[in-house]
Structure 1
Amino acid sequence: MTDLPQHETLKGTFNPKAFLARAEAGKTIGKYGKNQEIFAQGQIADSVLYIQKGKVKITVLSEHGKEAVVGIFTQGQFFGEACLDGAPLRTATSQAMEDCLITSLTKAAMLATLETEPKFSAFFVAYLLARNSRIEDDLIDQLFNSSERRLARLLLLLANFGKEGGAPPVAVTLSQETLAEMIGTTRSRVSFFMNKFRKKGFISYNGKIEVHSSLLDAVLRDKPQIKEDE
């Protein structure tokens, strides 16, 4: 006998987001405050996590003690799914960047749901495909674009420009050090470019970084405002 509520055992009625928003066997809902650790590098990898609300930072610590930001995840995204591919330990640390509401599914519960619920499988595969495309775009960006253009693209992504559903832009709260780590340059270069963007009206500061559509226009039109620096 299935543990799912009766209305979800009926064919065609399964709702992935509703399923992820509800705690039940093999699935818990947790609240995390700003800067709170969710899991740490080296811990046992036994669950997949889904962000209902908030933003999560993923960092990796090298053998020499150097920490680097390797990803920022937001509402509607999964993380920690490497356990499904047999990874026994977490290869990175995750930390809440703001108040977060996160669903945690045990590896067994995740695999069982993927096997029994086609709609959930399609939902998860769509996420993985979108993430894979983003990784490919990031690699191309890193290989072929200047650090100035990489910063512009990162700011636009973090501010939700181009996100499906026409969501309004959001303020960027990352430090210049973190932005520098994410695009592979120095803090001084980021500071230089940020001042340049501000003077040109692409961004503004008000405790947070407000990204304006003029930055997107400059990138799309490939005008001299965003040019090679290296």
Structure 2
Amino acid sequence: MDIQQLINSGFLIKEYPKDAIIYEPGMFPKYVYFIKSGEVRMVTVNEDGREFIQGIFKSGQYFGEPALIVNRRYLAFTIASKDSEIILLGKSDFFHLIESMPDFSTEIIQTLSNRLFYKSMMLEELANEKAEHRLLTIIKYLLNDIEIGGHLKVTRQELADMTGLRVETVIRGVKLLVRKNLIFTKKGKIIKVA
């Protein structure tokens, strides 16, 4: 879905400052959120306040549709990682897009399938005790969407939050993967896997 089309259609654009909560567990869904600019992370928080990142959404992407489609309350927090401008698309408008735009319907199916694949992959990885294996799997997954010549654009903290590891463990794990030639870096940025 082209964000510019939504802007031109006059849908509500709301600004969220960095660290603002967009929605939280238990809230009933009213919108699908299309990111005009900024970045949003979806997280669950344990009793100690530690975040586990379920997804990161960037400009041009959208989130919040699974709960809206199945009419269930949200299970996670979504938090602006940067100052963000977000287009709020209500339920009836969202379903109208699905019904009137077959390409968008196909895109929704692909997006939901990718998210289901990611969650299944992470469940399997969290059952694996080896930090090195968890890191390599998430790095391979994230590099899949990077263009040739690009690099991984997540922080060590984000890698830790995605894998359920501590930052220190991520730092040691990345160094170990580099020494074993399983991943390659350039100027400290991860660029590819073996």
Regarding TM over 0.5, the answer is yes
Q: Is the 1:147–1:184 contact (alpha carbons within 8 Å) kept by the matching residues of 2? A: no
1:22 aligns with 2:1: no
**What is the percentage of aligned positions where both structures have the same residue?**
22
Structure with higher RCO (Cα < 8 A, 6+ apart): 2
The match for 2:32 among 39, 43, 48 is: 48
Q: Is the 1:198–1:204 contact (alpha carbons within 8 Å) kept by the matching residues of 2? A: no
Bigger radius of gyration: 1
The 3 A distance-change label for structure 1 pair 186 and 173 is closer
The 3 A distance-change label for structure 1 pair 155 and 54 is farther
Deviation at 1:129, TM superposition (A): 1.8
Instruction: Determine the structure 1 residue equivalent to 2:162.
Output: 182
Instruction: Determine the structure 2 residue equivalent to 1:152.
Output: 136
Instruction: Determine the structure 1 residue equivalent to 2:53.
Output: 70
Instruction: Determine the structure 2 residue equivalent to 1:225.
Output: none
Distance 1:180 1:148 in 2: 12
Alignment gaps of 5+ in structure 1: 1-15, 218-230
Q: Is the 1:180–1:187 contact (alpha carbons within 8 Å) kept by the matching residues of 2? A: yes
What is the TM-score of this pair, normalised by structure 1?
A: 0.66
Deviation at 1:108, TM superposition (A): 1.7
Deviation at 1:156, TM superposition (A): 4.7
Indicate the RMSD between aligned Cα atoms, in angstroms.
Answer: 3.1
Distance 1:34 1:66 in 2: 18
Q: Is the 2:128–2:134 contact (alpha carbons within 8 Å) kept by the matching residues of 1? A: no
Q: Which amino acid aligns with 2:79?
A: Q
Q: Which amino acid aligns with 2:176?
A: K
Alignment gaps of 5+ in structure 2: none
Distance 2:44 2:168 in 1: 22
Aligned ranges 1:56-205 → 2 under 5 Å: 56-62=40-46, 64=47, 66-75=49-58, 76-81=60-65, 82-87=67-72, 89-144=73-128, 146-158=130-142, 161-163=143-145, 166=148, 168-175=150-157, 178-197=158-177, 202-203=184-185
